């Protein structure tokens, strides 16, 4: 009996806590519903636990959400697929609550369970759920029903199929826009299960209604339906039925609908096939690129590279490039920024000659844009152009752009350009870097903003990794070490940080010969902050340096610091000494 | 079951018998129906109890009021549970003495006073506006707002639950850690198969048994929409798409999704780059009842702008503007102040917009922007007193307006707790003055040209002192401290709810 108790006790608590006043405890119990179910056994789970859950569904959203999720994977605990239908009832009620995320989860779980159920069980149990929800008194139930038709339909006998199609059609004309939106966004999924013959007639007429809905929010969801339905229809039907809709949508009165088209255009082209896209969708796309509304142009500009990939270079140059040129001097900085983030990708599509002739001037003008984000976006994708035309043609304009960004008055802009310096260095090569960018990298070490100084130190490390220790020895180390004499202690601290970052890259010898003396020297600094940072840096260097050096140079220095009048200096010195000892011991 | 939120079909016919003859219908006869929170004689009104918002829901089954203390009070209709029966009565005989009756349902504290530490500003808890949202699952949903924060409420009947059977009795549950012996023994009868599980489950485990006897109404705050307004929110309005709403302050209008409380989109911004150039502020905004992309907002200069949300993301340019140009000679210092629109309402079909400025009610046809189709003088006798009204700030009082569901009448409030109902149908001369008391028509007896006054007005003069109460040359008395700012018309019947300080008066016709 004692062992029994020990076994039961934790589960008994879990069960009791299903109804605890504390929501955290209830949540905990719900999340471990499978443990409870296992303890109860399959039969009692079916006969007691599931009805219990069905009845107690007025809990808080978090608990309901967890319950909806758990029930989706509950089939093993109720006795396998034959008994799966008992799970439908609690999920059906969860499908009617007003919180969207709970309903969505319940629908997801219903789909998961329905997908495993036997065909006969679907007809006996699942389809009635669909029909009840679709006829629900409140819109929440009807909204949920739209998401489970595609599970029910394939298993239904012909007569039921016809009924389901009719019901779906009614949902698409529901009084509540919420229901029509759910029907519109699930139409693709449902249509994928419907037979070709009904697709062309029934589903297409439903779809046509949705595309002419009064509510903008319904129409813009129908845009997604275009892509989904287009893929299901045979090519000629797609051209006959879907293409005109897309073209209409691209001229919709509502900018939100046009925005959706601009965002989805690539998928729509895929559905329509390349040939028809070229013929019908290029004009539509050109219109969107020249739309009145900046939001639409932003979406369209962001797709320019992707769209050009499905066109011939010739067509891209003829039709799209003129628009791109216009966009590069668009009045909205966000449009230019969106364009700048993708335009470099057009280079491989257009090929070398066209890039030099047509794209390069656009790159150059964007590099001179007044809005830093635009310039940054161009610089961040430099590698894509480099592969096609080489960097030389750009380097002339690149440098002023980089310098200007490097000195931008917003530190976030400066930070962004520092992040790209290693990429630039690798693309531009050592020579260019030495000439032009080296000085900038040093200048950042003395920036007024800490984040910039920190990034500058990190940047040096990444450069040393890129070009190797030898190069670093020649070009970086001397200039960094010079700065240790900077009158400002914050700057000297940055140098110490740079040393600790560079040391692992440079290796033991250089560290010992060049870096260590500087650090040791700094231990005599008059500012305590520098001194305890010396202690910290020494601690990191211990693992790199030779043991004898540690004994001879590092330790005496730390011992001296450990007797410093400043309490923080003593603290960090002692920490470093302890670290030394540990490393000695282990080796 | 869900009788509380029966959605009724819109009553297309005018409630009075639609007479085939073209002559204007007889004026409505208003009768007192109910009062909530009536003040007894001599009782002082607490400032926090003063009603600051009234709103019927779409079906007219529910009514909500908000007050300066941040509370929202809900009322529900009780006289018609059976809507079919009611319609029958309506069709059969209009004069059937059916008395619309509401009862107190529940109340909750929607907003609390707050302090904005960044701006050193106190934020009052006063409810500025309430809007009902789509009901679902037998629960009511509404939005309420104070100056800065909009809250989304769910009001639902909740069963009070009691857990009666537990595995571990609460007394020894944590103590000795054993399933309570007594309970276990007693449980075998409860288990369906005598406590023996075939599939190896633990027979001693029992699920909690929950019993629920009574139900109670509970309001829960579902979402809080905040930090989007630098100025005071004057309006909120739901979109017909059921998922978005707007909130308007003096200079901006923001668009929200009901499900997303951490972002909103600014759609109208009239703030000039230099605040010294500011000449006009937004005073009220409302969505079109059926066109999801049309929005109207009014300004302090007396214009109403229609905005088409389809045209662009930022709707700083209007698609239509309605304004009436004052005759050039009649300009005075007060012209601009009294032109300021305090409230606008779309008619139920969206064809007309009703606007209230300080002196008049105006009805506009959205297909005619040259001027209003009708103008109703609310309290013309105050015109000579504008100077006094300016000095004591009464001229800035913001009166609301409302229209009947059939669009044939309009109503608005005035001083001395009176409100006026005008016929807006073609040829109607209806202009009724009613006082928010148990005897609303008492005022009508009092002919403006006759200097007679009822005794109660006199006593009030005595009680409140003379400075806020005046009697003009014609003997019209007005009491500036008792102003009827808020009122609402039932969406389909001739029922008006109006607020006189802390009392809610209901009238029917």
Name residue B172's beta-bridge partners: none
Flag whether pLDDT at B480 surpasses 80: yes
A564 vs chain B: nearest CA distance in angstroms? Answer: 44
- pLDDT given for residue B306 in this prediction: 95
The answer to whether the beta carbons of residues B56 and B488 sit under 8 Å apart is yes
HEC string of A519-580 equals HHHHCCCCCHHHHHHHHHHHHHHHCCCCHHHHHHHHHHHHHHHCCCCCHHHHHHHHHHHHHH
| Least confident piece of the model among A265-269, B136-140, B274-278 | A265-269
Model confidence at B52, pLDDT cuts 50, 70, 90, reads: very high
Residues 6+ apart with CB under 8 A from A232: A188, A191, A192, A199
Sign of torsion, CA A309 A310 A311 A313? positive
Residues of A with CB below 8 A from B207's CB?
A: 15, 18, 48-49, 52
- Res. A1: pLDDT tops 50: no
Say what the pLDDT of residue B194 is. Answer: 36
CB–CB of A177 and B173 under 8 A?
no
Residue B262 is predicted with a pLDDT of 92
Tokens of A187: 């139409």
d(CA B257, CA B246): 9
- The average pLDDT across A266-293 equals 85
Q: B128: which 2 tokens?
A: 């500025």
Q: To the nearest whole percent, how much of chain A has pLDDT over 90? A: 51
Optimal mutation site among B292, B294, B307, B315, interface A, most CBs of chain A within 10 A: B292
B137 with A98: Cβ contact below 8 A: yes
CB pairs below 8 Å between A and B: how many?
A: 138
Name which of B59, B177, B188, B205 to mutate to probe chain A: the one with the most chain A Cβ atoms within 10 A of its Cβ: B205
What average pLDDT does chain B have?
Answer: 80
Are B178 and A5 within 8 A, CB to CB? yes
A292: nearest CA partner in chain B:
B312
Separation in Å, CA of A308 to nearest CA in chain B: 27
Residue A152: CB atoms within 10 A of its CB come to 26
CB contact under 8 A, A8 and B204: yes
pLDDT > 70 in chain B, percent: 77
Contact flag A48-B2 (C-beta cutoff 8 Å): no
**Strand stretches in B288-417, DSSP E:** 294-299, 304-308, 320-322, 341-346, 352-357, 360-365, 374-377, 401-403, 409-413
CB contact under 8 A, B179 and A12: yes
Determine the straight-line distance between the first and last CA of chain B, rounded to whole angstroms: 29
Partner-chain contact A4 B158, CB within 8 Å: no
- Residue of A7, A41, A96 lying closest to B199 (CB–CB): A41
CB contact under 8 A, B179 and A214: no
> By mean pLDDT, which of A268-277, A481-490, A537-546 is the weakest?
A268-277
- Please tell me the pTM assigned to this model: 0.81
Where is B357: in which H helix or E strand?
strand B352-357
Taking a C-beta distance cutoff of 8 angstroms, is the pair B146, B128 a contact? yes
By Cβ distance, the residue of A39, A217, A256 closest to B202 is A39
User: Which one of A56, A215, A255, A259 makes the best mutation probe of the B interface by having the most chain B beta carbons within 10 Å?
Assistant: A215
Token pair of A351 as six digits: 């090929």
Write out pLDDT tens, residues B394-405: 999 999 999 999
Closest to B219 measured CA to CA, from B102, B336, B70, B434: B70
* Set of chain B residues whose Cβ sits within 8 Å of the Cβ of A30: none
- Identify the CA nearest to A256 among candidates A232, A227, A304, A220: A220
Q: Which residues contact A20 (CB under 8 A, 6 or more apart)?
A: A26, A29
Residue B178 has pLDDT above 50, yes or no: no
pLDDT digits (tens, 9 = 90+) for A40-75: 889 999 998 999 898 887 888 899 999 999 999 999
Q: Which residue from B minimizes the CA distance to A216? A: B292
Cα-based torsion angle of the residue sequence A384, A389, A392, A393 in order, rounded to the nearest 10 degrees: -100
Q: Rounded CA gap, B415 and B435, in Å? A: 10
Q: Rounded distance, CA A235 to CA A166, Å? A: 26
Mean pLDDT of A391-404: 79
| pLDDT at residue B476, rounded to an integer | 58
ipTM above 0.90, yes or no: no
Residue A264 structure tokens: 């989805």
Band (B250; pLDDT cuts 50, 70, 90): very high
Q: Closest approach of chain A CAs to the CA of B241, in angstroms?
A: 6
pLDDT band at B183 (very low <50, low <70, confident <90, very high): very low
Instruction: Identify the residue among B241, B311, B314, B317 best suited for mutation to test binding to A, counting A beta carbons within 10 A and taking the highest.
Output: B241
CA-based nearest residue to B11, from B89, B95, B96, B98 = B89
Q: Which of A174-188, B351-365, B466-480 is the least confident region?
A: B466-480
Q: Is the pLDDT of residue A513 over 50?
A: yes
B168 contacts in chain A (CB < 8 Å)? 12-13, 16
Give contacts of A138 with chain B, Cβ < 8 Å. 135-138
What tokens appear for A36 in the block? 């409870």
Which segment of A232-241, A263-272, A370-379, B178-187 scores lowest on mean pLDDT?
B178-187
What does the pLDDT read at residue A22?
Answer: 87
Two tokens at A185? 């966004």
Which of A176, A217, A296 is best to mutate for the B interface (most B CBs within 10 A)?
A: A217
What is the rounded CA–CA span in Å between residue A232 and residue A192?
Answer: 7
Chain B partners of A18 at a C-beta cutoff of 8 Å?
A: 207-208
Identify any residues that bridge with B215 across adjacent strands, giving them in sequence order. Answer: B159
Please tell me which of the candidates B141, B177, B208 has its beta carbon nearest to residue A9. B177
Q: What is the pLDDT of residue A45?
A: 92
The neighbour count for residue B44, using CB atoms within 10 Å, is 6
**Position B467 pLDDT exceeds 90:** no
For range A400-421, the mean pLDDT: 87
Which of B158, B167, B293 lies closest to A16 in CB terms? B167
Chain B environment of A182 (Cβ under 8 Å): none
**pLDDT for position A218:** 94
Do A208 and A199 touch, CB atoms closer than 8 A?
no
- Location of structure tokens 């759910």: A182
How far away is chain B from the Cα of A140, in angstroms, using its nearest Cα?
A: 7
pLDDT tens per residue across span A282-332: 899 999 999 999 999 999 999 999 888 888 888 888 889 999 999 999 999
Q: Which of A15, A139, A214 sits opposite B208 (nearest CB)?
A: A15
- pLDDT at residue B24, rounded to an integer: 58
In angstroms, the CA B469 to CA B457 distance is 10
Q: Do B292 and A9 touch (CB under 8 A)?
A: no
A12–B312 CB contact, under 8 Å: no
Q: Is the pLDDT of residue B451 over 50?
A: no
Output the average pLDDT for chain A.
89
Stronger pLDDT, B191 or A163, i.e. the higher one: A163
pLDDT at site B202: 66
Check residue A207 and give its pLDDT: 92
Q: Which residues of A touch B241 (CB under 8 A)?
A: 177, 215-217
Residue A108 belongs to what H/E stretch?
helix A100-116
For B95, the token pair is 């004069």
Query: Does the structure show a pLDDT above 50 at B9?
Result: no
Q: What's residue A459's pLDDT? A: 93
Q: Which of B6, B201, B222, B223 to mutate to test the interface with A (most CBs of A within 10 A)?
A: B201
Closest CA to A125 of A101, A89, A100: A89
The nearest CA of chain B is from the CA of A71 a distance in Å of 17
Of the candidate ranges A291-305, A342-356, A518-532, the one whose mean pLDDT is the lowest: A342-356
Specify the 3-state DSSP secondary structure of A393. Answer: helix
B73, B107 contact by CB (below 8 A): yes
Q: How far apart are CA B402 and CA B412, in angstroms?
A: 6
The pLDDT tens digits for A419-465 are: 888 888 888 888 878 877 888 888 899 999 999 999 999 999 999 99
Which residues, 6+ apart, have CB-to-CB distance to B358 below 8 Å? Answer: B337, B338, B339, B340, B342, B395, B397, B399
Residues of A in contact with B177 (CB under 8 A): 5, 9
Angle separating helix axes A382-389 and A411-432, nearest 10 degrees = 30
Question: Tokens in use for B41?
Answer: 């004689």
All residues at 6 or more sequence positions from A164 whose CB lies less than 8 Å from its CB, including other chains: A127, A130, A149, A152, A153, A156
Question: pLDDT tier at A5 (50, 70, 90 boundaries)?
Answer: low
- A264 contacts A226 by C-beta, under 8 angstroms: yes
Name which of A462-471, A507-516, B88-97, B480-489 the model is least confident about: B88-97
What pLDDT is stored for residue B177 in this prediction? 40
pLDDT (tens digit per residue) in A153-180: 999 999 999 999 999 999 999 999 999 9
**Does the pLDDT of residue A128 top 60, yes or no?**
yes
Q: Which residues of B touch A213 (CB under 8 A)?
A: none
Alpha-carbon gap, residue B477 to B381, rounded angstroms: 10
């Amino acid at each position: 009996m004692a062992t029994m108790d020990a076994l039961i006790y934790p589960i008994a608590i879990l069960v009791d806590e299903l109804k605890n006043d504390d929501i955290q405890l209830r949540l905990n119990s719900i999340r471990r519903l499978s443990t409870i179910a296992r303890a109860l056994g399959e039969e009692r789970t079916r006969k007691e636990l599931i009805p219990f859950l069905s009845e107690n569904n007025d809990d808080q959203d978090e608990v309901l959400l967890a319950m909806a999720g758990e029930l989706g994977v509950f089939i093993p605990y109720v006795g396998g697929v034959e008994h799966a239908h008992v799970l439908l009832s609690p999920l059906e009620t969860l499908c009617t609550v007003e919180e969207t995320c709970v309903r969505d989860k319940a629908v997801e779980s219903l789909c998961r369970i329905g997908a495993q159920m036997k065909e006969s069980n679907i007809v006996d149990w699942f389809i009635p759920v669909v029909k009840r929800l679709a006829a629900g008194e409140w819109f929440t139930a009807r909204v949920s029903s739209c998401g489970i038709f595609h599970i029910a339909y394939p298993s239904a006998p012909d007569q039921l199929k016809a009924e389901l199609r009719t019901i779906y059609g009614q949902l698409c004309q529901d009084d509540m826009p919420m229901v029509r939106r759910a029907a519109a966004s699930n139409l693709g999924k449902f249509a994928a299960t419907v037979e070709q013959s009904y697709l062309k007639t029934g589903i297409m007429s439903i779809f046509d209604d949705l595309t002419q809905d009064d509510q903008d929010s319904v129409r813009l969801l129908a845009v997604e339906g275009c892509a989904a339905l287009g893929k299901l229809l045979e090519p000629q039907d797609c051209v006959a039925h879907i293409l005109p809709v897309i073209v209409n949508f691209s001229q919709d009165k509502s900018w939100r609908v046009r925005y959706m088209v601009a965002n989805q255009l690539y998928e729509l082209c895929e559905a329509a096939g390349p040939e028809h896209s070229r013929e019908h969708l290029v004009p539509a796309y050109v219109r969107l690129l020249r739309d009145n509304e900046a939001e639409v142009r932003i979406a369209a500009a962001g797709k320019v590279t992707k769209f050009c990939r499905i066109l011939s270079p010739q067509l891209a140059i003829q039709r799209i490039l003129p628009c791109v040129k216009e966009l590069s001097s668009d009045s909205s900085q966000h449009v230019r920024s969106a364009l700048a983030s993708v335009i470099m990708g057009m280079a491989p599509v257009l090929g070398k000659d066209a890039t030099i002739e047509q794209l390069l001037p656009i790159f150059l003008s964007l590099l001179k844009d007044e809005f830093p984000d635009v310039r940054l976006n161009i610089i961040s994708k430099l590698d894509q152009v480099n592969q096609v035309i080489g960097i030389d043609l750009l380097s002339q304009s690149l440098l002023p752009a980089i310098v200007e960004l490097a000195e931008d008055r917003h530190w976030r802009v400066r930070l962004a350009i520092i992040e790209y310096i290693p990429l630039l260095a690798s693309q531009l090569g050592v020579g260019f870097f030495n000439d032009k960018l080296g000085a900038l990298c040093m200048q950042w070490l003395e920036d007024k903003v800490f984040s910039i100084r920190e990034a500058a130190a990190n940047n040096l490390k990444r450069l040393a990794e890129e070009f190797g220790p030898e190069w670093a020895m020649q070009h970086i180390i001397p200039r960094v070490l010079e700065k240790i004499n900077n009158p400002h202690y914050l700057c000297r601290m940055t140098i110490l940080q740079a040393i600790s970052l560079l040391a692992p890259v440079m290796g033991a010898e250089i560290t010992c010969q060049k870096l260590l003396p500087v650090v040791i020297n700094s231990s005599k600094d008059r500012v305590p902050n520098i001194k305890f940072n010396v202690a910290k840096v020494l601690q990191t260097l211990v693992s790199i340096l030779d043991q004898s050096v540690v004994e001879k140079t590092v330790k005496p220095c730390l011992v001296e610091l450990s007797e410093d009048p400043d309490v923080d200096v003593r603290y960090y010195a002692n920490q470093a000494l302890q670290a030394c000892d540990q490393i000695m011991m282990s080796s | 079951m869900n009788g509380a939120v029966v959605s009724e079909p819109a009553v297309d016919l005018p409630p009075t018998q639609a007479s085939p003859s073209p002559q204007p219908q007889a004026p409505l006869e208003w009768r007192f129906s109910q009062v909530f929170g009536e003040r007894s004689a001599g009782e002082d009104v607490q400032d926090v109890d003063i009603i600051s918002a009234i709103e019927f829901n779409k079906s007219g089954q529910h009514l909500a009021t908000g007050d300066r203390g941040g509370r929202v009070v809900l009322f529900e209709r009780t006289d018609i549970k059976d809507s079919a029966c009611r319609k029958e009565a309506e069709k059969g005989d209009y004069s059937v003495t059916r008395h619309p009756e509401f009862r107190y349902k529940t109340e909750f504290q929607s907003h609390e006073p707050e302090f904005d530490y960044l701006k050193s500003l106190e934020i009052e808890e006063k409810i500025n506006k309430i809007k009902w949202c789509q009901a679902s699952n037998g629960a009511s949903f509404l939005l309420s707002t104070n100056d800065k924060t909009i809250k989304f409420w769910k009001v639902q009947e909740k069963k009070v639950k009691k857990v009666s059977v537990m595995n571990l009795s609460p007394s020894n549950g944590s103590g000795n850690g054993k399933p309570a012996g007594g309970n276990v023994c007693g449980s075998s009868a409860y288990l369906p198969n005598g406590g023996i599980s075939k599939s190896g489950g633990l027979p001693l485990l029992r699920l909690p048994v929950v019993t629920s006897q009574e139900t109670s109404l509970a309001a829960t705050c579902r979402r809080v929409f905040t930090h989007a307004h630098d100025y005071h929110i004057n309006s909120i309005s739901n979109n017909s798409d059921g998922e978005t709403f707007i909130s308007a302050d003096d200079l901006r209008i923001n668009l929200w999704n009901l499900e997303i409380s951490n972002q909103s989109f600014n759609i109208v911004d009239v703030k000039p780059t230099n605040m010294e150039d500011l000449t006009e502020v937004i005073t009220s905004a409302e969505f079109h009842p059926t066109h999801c992309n049309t929005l109207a907002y009014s300004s302090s200069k007396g214009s109403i702008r229609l905005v088409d949300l389809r045209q662009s993301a930022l709707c700083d340019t209007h698609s239509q503007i309605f304004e009436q140009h004052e005759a050039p000679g009649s300009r005075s210092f007060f012209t601009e102040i009294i032109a300021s629109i305090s409230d606008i309402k779309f008619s139920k079909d969206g064809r007309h917009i009703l606007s209230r400025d300080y002196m008049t009610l105006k009805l506009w046809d959205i297909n005619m922007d040259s001027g209003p189709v009708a103008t109703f003088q609310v309290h013309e006798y105050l015109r000579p007193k504008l100077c006094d009204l300016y000095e004591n700030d009464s001229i800035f009082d913001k009166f609301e307006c409302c229209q009947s569901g059939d669009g044939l009448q309009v109503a608005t409030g005035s001083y001395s707790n009176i409100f006026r109902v005008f016929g807006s149908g073609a040829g109607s001369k209806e202009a009724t003055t009613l006082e928010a008391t148990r005897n609303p028509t008492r005022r009508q007896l009092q002919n403006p040209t006759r200097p007679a006054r009822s005794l109660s007005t006199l006593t009030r003069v005595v009680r409140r002192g003379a400075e806020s109460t005046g009697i003009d040359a014609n003997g019209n008395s007005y009491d500036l401290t008792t102003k009827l700012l808020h009122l609402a018309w039932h969406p389909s019947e001739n029922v008006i709810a109006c607020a006189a300080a802390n009392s809610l008066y209901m009238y029917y016709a």
